[in-house]
């Protein structure tokens, strides 16, 4: 059986840290004028994949 390939779309969107999966922050690139400063400030914080989805993401980005 051939080796599993990494899902390239997922590999560009998620990064594996020591014990969690980091994801990009959406809603931060444009149409920022209507968003409040509080919203934009909260979008700066790092975001992580939920525990429920973590196994699925790890399977996509795992390299064999």
pLDDT of the residue at 64: 52
Query: How far, CA to CA in Å, does 4 sit from each of 9, 15, 42, 64?
Result: 15, 19, 37, 6
Residue-wise pLDDT for 13-41, tens only, equals 999 999 999 998 889 999 999 999 999 99
pTM for the complete prediction? 0.75
Query: How far, CA to CA in Å, does 13 sit from each of 2, 33, 38, 45, 64?
Result: 25, 25, 25, 16, 19
CA–CA distance, 43 with 40 (Å, rounded to integer): 5
């Amino acid at each position: 059986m051939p080796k599993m390939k990494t899902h390239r779309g997922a590999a560009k969107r998620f990064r594996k840290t020591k014990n969690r999966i980091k994801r990009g922050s959406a809603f931060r690139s444009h149409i920022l004028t209507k968003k409040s400063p509080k919203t934009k400030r909260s979008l700066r914080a790092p975001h992580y994949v939920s525990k429920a989805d973590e196994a699925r993401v790890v399977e996509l980005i795992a390299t064999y």
